[in-house]
Amino acid sequence: MPTPTPGGLPETLRARGYRLTPQRQMVLDAVVELGQGTPEEIGDRVHGISPGVNITTVYRTLELLEQLGLVRHRHFGHGAPMYHASDYDTLHSVCHRCGEVAVIPGELLQPVAQWLVEEHGFALDTGHIALAGLCATCAGDPSAE
């Protein structure tokens, strides 16, 4: 399965009320390019491009990106957490009225994916699912059709 690049994310982040600052984009790019790395390794790479970014910012950015489902971390032994880009389990919801896009944790679809494979032998490609509906703004708008 090709790895979707988390490149088209500015709109997604804005839709969630986050701004994809150049720093955040840089940290995300560093994780994607490294494959996986500790916050220090990711920080080193970001530093190579932008020496002004400190490690605290890198830590905070990684936490934010993880909340958004864009990166994951795991621990190996007692070492520092290893961060990697999540390339398969990020879902999106799309408002079919205004087009707002939001990121949804892919784990939510796990029971569905499991049922499909058990009952139908159907392998759901959760990396390519967008759930259509109305965003909170449009759902509450009386002029919505």
Query: C-beta of 102: minimal distance to Zn ion in Å?
Result: 10
Does position 46 interact with Zn ion (CB under 5 A)? The reply is no
Query: C-beta of 97: minimal distance to Zn ion in Å?
Result: 5
* Dist CA 29 CA 100 (whole Å): 23
Does position 135 interact with Zn ion (CB under 5 A)? The reply is yes
* Dist CA 101 CA 95 (whole Å): 7
Which distant-in-sequence residues (6+ apart) come within 8 Å of 22 by Cβ? Answer: 50
Q: How many CB atoms lie within 10 A of CB 51?
A: 8
Span near Zn ion by CB under 5 A; candidates 22-30, 69-77, 115-123, 133-141: 133-141
Secondary structure of residue 145 in the 3-state scheme: coil
Site string for Zn ion, 83-122 (x = CB under 5 A): ------------x-xx-x----------------------
Q: Which chain residues interact with Zn ion by CB under 5 A?
A: 95, 97-98, 100, 135, 138
